[in-house]
Amino acid sequence: EIIIMATGSQGEPMAVLNRLATGSHHSLRIQDNDTVLLSSHTIPGNEEMTYS
């Protein structure tokens, strides 16, 4: 079992979480049976990027 704590909960295009979600990270991949838990506060003004 592995836990990866990633940055980028606000939808930033180059953040690790975004790259994991889109499959564009150079060395990590999220598999179908993986569990992803997102915990963050939305920064005012970033609602659209956070919820998309």
Query: What is the residue type of 51?
Result: Y
Task: For residue range 35-48, list pLDDT tens digits in order.
Answer: 888 777 777 887 77
- Give Dmax (Cα) for the chain: 36
Which residues of the chain fall short of a pLDDT of 70? 9, 11, 50, 52
pTM of the model: 0.60
| C-alpha closest to that of 18 among 6, 27, 26 | 6
**Domain ranges within the chain, ordered by starting residue:** 1-43
40 within 8 A of 9, measured Cβ to Cβ: yes
